[in-house]
Amino acid sequence: MESTHSTDRPTAPAPFLIGRTALITGAAGGIGRACAVAFAAAGARVYVVDRAAEAAEAVAQEIGGIALVVDLSDPVAVDGLPDDADIVVNNAGLQHIAPVHDFPPDRFQLIQRVMVEAPFRIIRRTLPHMYGQEWGRIVNISSVHGLRASPFKSAYVTAKHALEGLSKVVALEGAPYGVTSNCVSPGYVRTPLVEEQIAAQALAHGISTQDVVEQVMLERSAIKRLIEPDEVAHAALWLCSPPSGYVTGTSLPLDGGWTAH
């Protein structure tokens, strides 16, 4: 039987984004950092947006980008971000796991501000620039939870479904101006956020962390491994490449077959 584990890593992209500027949120680690590295390798100037100042500066220095230390839960700070991005990658996110009847309302609100309102504000600010040059790319890092639901994740599932809807509206409005808008919707990615989820799920279900990975996280995935951040980054990068110019208003599942059920 052929192994479902892949050690292949995507090859370095051609520099097709020379002269373009990408704004990437949550870019100090995980998927965001992988996106920053991939987009910079493709020639883009990258705004590394994150609230973790030291990590953001380190990534910016590594790729020759510009670190912007911003708390995305602060609307005033979000509205102060640059409006000259040709490409926006809305990636930043957070998680909280609890039953709906025990879910803290302030935590629910925070997740919506960071994962729905901030992307809306960023897109709203950058679209006039994209419209003016008749080219732009919006890539929203959604999740399989933007397409399917799981228990104990009411705020996250709500936010990702909202992001998918926002992305489709932007696709319809932006099409006459050469702007595309799409979601990348991965399953469980090997990131610090997922490591935190494993521990929280173990507590919620009363099982071991190993059982969480095998029985909870990968139960519905045909491919029995976590996806790597750079795999997600290169899917996002493809949505900004010349061959994808007709792709808009869609969601690209990177879910190992989860949504095939």
Q: Give the Cα separation of 111 and 142 in Å (integer).
A: 13
68: closest CA among 32, 120, 43? 32
Q: Are 41 and 13 in contact (CB under 8 A)?
A: yes
Token duo for residue 115: 């994962």
Token duo for residue 217: 């996280």
Q: Rounded to the nearest 5°, which phi and psi values hold at 52?
A: -85, 100
| 47 catalytic per annotation | no
Sign of CA dihedral 163, 165, 168, 170: negative
Q: Catalytic one among 156, 177, 188, 246?
A: 156
The strands making up 136-141's β-sheet, listed across from edge to edge, are 66-69, 45-50, 21-25, 87-90, 136-141, 179-186, 251-254
Q: Hey, which residues are catalytic here?
A: 156
